[in-house]
């Protein structure tokens, strides 16, 4: 039984029957939200993390969703799946309630970190504990993002060149919020030979993540690359964006700011950067991708329906 199987095969029914994945937990966190069920507003918690294999570009999102029967389960998972811990995975099942449209990982499905998935923690002294990478390196570059032709969530690695002051944004409902612009560089070049530059709008709490971070390298997860007037624009909000700041030795392929100070650039910018922006209420999500995948995952259907019994 292979224990170094590519995590990219984790959704394959054939591989699921015969492979064992060894993965490391990165960026474990809880997300709190609320929803209305039977006329009552329910406070809920969801556990998420990143699971990376021995190749930094091969990773998948892991999750323990909210359940009515055990509302403490995500918080227990936060204690169980500690940062840096290593696990073996067998019989992987997917979380069919996860929203792929907000997932920037190379695999858009989310691994369910609860039965029927079989998980075993690997001891630090076990040689297998050194197999998985200690960081992730998204394969998507800023040049790739510039070439996208449809809206999607993206992960990318870059260095922060500059961070603007935040500016107020008025909503149509009379409320207000704030956004700031973060300029990213990763050293990649466009077909014109220009340095790819991304000016991304970071909304509300997401902007706070970049205070004092000019010159810092990192991985920026679950940003939204949106098609706008024929061009891709990038932005992020505090509910979805995750930042994994890198140490000096983790991303040697990224440039230092002094190395990319000069030369022509080709940029992708946030919608309305530097202009008044008007928001028209909350976004409406679609579930077409979820419905399309349910037919291939009967276990996921059982998990999804069980939570509402």
pLDDT digits (tens, 9 = 90+) for 107-159: 889 999 999 999 999 999 999 999 999 999 998 999 998 888 888 899 999 99
Give SS3 for 75.
helix
**pLDDT value at residue 241:** 92
Give SS3 for 287.
coil
Mean residue pLDDT across the chain: 82
Domain ranges of the chain: 7-135+284-306, 142-276
Cβ contact 63:96 at 8 Å: no
Quickly state the pLDDT bin for 16 (edges 50, 70, 90).
Answer: low
Q: Is the pLDDT of residue 305 over 50?
A: no
The owner of tokens 């922060």 is 160
CA 33 to centroid of chain Cα atoms: 17
Q: Extract the tokens encoding 273.
A: 């950067």
142-276 belongs to which CATH class? mainly beta
Domains 7-135+284-306 and 142-276 share a fold: yes
Please give the C-alpha separations between residue 81 and each of 17, 29, 85, 154, 240, in angstroms, as whole numbers: 24, 10, 7, 24, 20
Q: Please state the CATH superfamily assignment of the domain spanning residues 7-135+284-306 in this structure.
A: Nucleic acid-binding proteins (2.40.50.140)
Q: Report d(CA 199, CA 194) in Å as an integer.
A: 15
């Amino acid at each position: 039984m292979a224990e170094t199987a590519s995590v990219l095969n984790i959704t394959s029914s054939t591989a699921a029957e015969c492979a064992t994945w060894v993965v490391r937990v990165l960026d474990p966190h809880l997300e709190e939200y609320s929803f209305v069920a039977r006329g009552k507003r329910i406070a809920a918690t969801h556990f998420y993390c990143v699971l990376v294999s021995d190749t930094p570009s091969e990773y998948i999102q892991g999750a323990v969703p909210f359940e009515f029967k055990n509302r403490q389960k995500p918080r227990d998972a936060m204690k169980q799946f500690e940062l840096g811990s290593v696990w073996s995975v067998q019989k992987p099942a997917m979380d069919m309630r996860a929203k792929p449209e907000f997932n920037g990982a190379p695999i858009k499905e989310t691994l369910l970190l609860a039965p029927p998935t079989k998980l075993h923690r690997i001891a630090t002294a076990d040689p297998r504990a050194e197999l998985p990478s200690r960081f992730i390196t998204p394969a998507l570059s800023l040049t790739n993002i510039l070439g996208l032709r449809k809206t999607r969530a993206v992960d990318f690695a870059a260095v922060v060149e500059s961070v603007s002051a935040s500016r107020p944004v008025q909503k149509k409902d009379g409320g207000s919020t704030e956004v700031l612009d973060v300029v990213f560089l990763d050293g990649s070049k466009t077909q014109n030979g220009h340095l790819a530059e991304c000016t991304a709008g970071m909304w509300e709490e997401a902007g706070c993540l970049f205070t004092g971070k000019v010159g810092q390298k990192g991985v920026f997860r679950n940003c939204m690359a949106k098609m706008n007037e024929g061009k891709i624009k990038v932005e992020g909000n505090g509910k979805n964006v995750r930042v994994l700041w890198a140490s000096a030795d983790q991303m040697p392929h990224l440039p230092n700011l002094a190395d990319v100070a000069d030369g022509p650039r080709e940029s992708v910018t946030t919608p309305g950067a530097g202009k008044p922006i008007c928001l028209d209420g909350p976004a409406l999500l679609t579930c077409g991708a979820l419905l399309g995948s349910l037919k291939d995952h009967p276990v996921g259907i059982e998990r999804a329906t069980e939570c509402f019994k």
